[in-house]
Amino acid sequence: MYYFFSLLTGVVIALMVLCNGDLTNAYGVYPATVLIHIVGIIFAWICLRILKQPAFPKKKLPFWMYLGGVIGVITTVFNNLAFGKISLTAILALSLLAQTLLSVIIDGLGLFEMQKRRISSATLIGFVFCLAGILWMLYGATVEAALALILSFCTGISVVISRMINASLAGQTSAVAGSFLNHLAGLLPATIVMFLFGRDELSAIGSFQVPWWAYLGGVLGVVVVLLYNITVPKVSAFQLTLLSFVGQVFAGIILDLIMKNTLSSQTFIGGLLVALGIGLNIIIEQLFQKRKQCNA
């Protein structure tokens, strides 16, 4: 079930990117980021009222547990700075490469209060296929903008750190409250960034020439954080990274077909290799677990 939730996270991310992209085209990058956070806060608050759950923890928590939303804003800014300087395929592949490497380290060392998981041979076999898929997506990418490449790699690191922090916060509150606090913590830095770098875009606010569903990006963002809060304690960081990536890539392909966009065979083949790698990883680990149970 948790593997399915991990895949579903990627599907929701693909839908979220579509909604956020249309909102960004209408309002600009930085005002759209603020609007996304506001919508997310309102939706999460409504969910908390319906579920009759408290929004804030009853005890004082370490300051770092509230930084997930702040790091999420950094992720958005890094993506925006890299966008247009290198291909989307390169951005996606570099982000995944960073997420994969950091996830393996987190699993091996048990960082962020997560369960320590031994890096098995099954993981290494799957990693070879995943790495092949990433390299395939990067093949032919220009290296003209070194800063954009570095920022894309840093984006992957910030994604993993953000979701781990959010899961730790959710463990002290609830999955929905963790998502609410994530968006609430990100609103202030998003607003500051907007006034620092996006003042020219503020004139677009108030022009509602955008489909209603474009505003659902904030709602889907809450769902993504909620799914991460559920899956992070149950699925290894490595498998979660790759499963959500597979869901994102193939949901993106379906959306491209629906919207009649040009498909990238490079991304499709790379996604297949990553899917094969994570599939092998899961199957081999299941066989190892059954063998252990038989020998016990």
pLDDT for the residue numbered 45: 94
Backbone angles phi, psi at 274, to 5 degrees: -65, -40
pLDDT for the residue numbered 38: 93
Identity (one letter) of the amino acid at 128? V
Q: How many domains is the chain partitioned into structurally?
A: 1
Share of the chain above pLDDT 90, in %: 9
pLDDT digits (tens, 9 = 90+) for 23-34: 877 788 788 889
Tell me how far apart the alpha carbons of residues 234 and 115 are, in angstroms, rounded to a whole number: 9
pLDDT digits (tens, 9 = 90+) for 103-161: 777 777 767 666 666 666 666 777 777 777 767 766 665 655 567 777 878 888 888 88
Range of the domain at 149: 2-295
> Is residue 289 over pLDDT 70?
no
pTM (2 d.p.): 0.72
Cα of first residue to Cα of last residue in the chain, in angstroms, is 25
Residue 81 burial (10 A CB sphere; 0-12, 13-18, 19+): middle
* Torsion sign across C-alpha atoms 216, 220, 222, 223: positive
Tell me how far apart the alpha carbons of residues 103 and 101 are, in angstroms, rounded to a whole number: 5
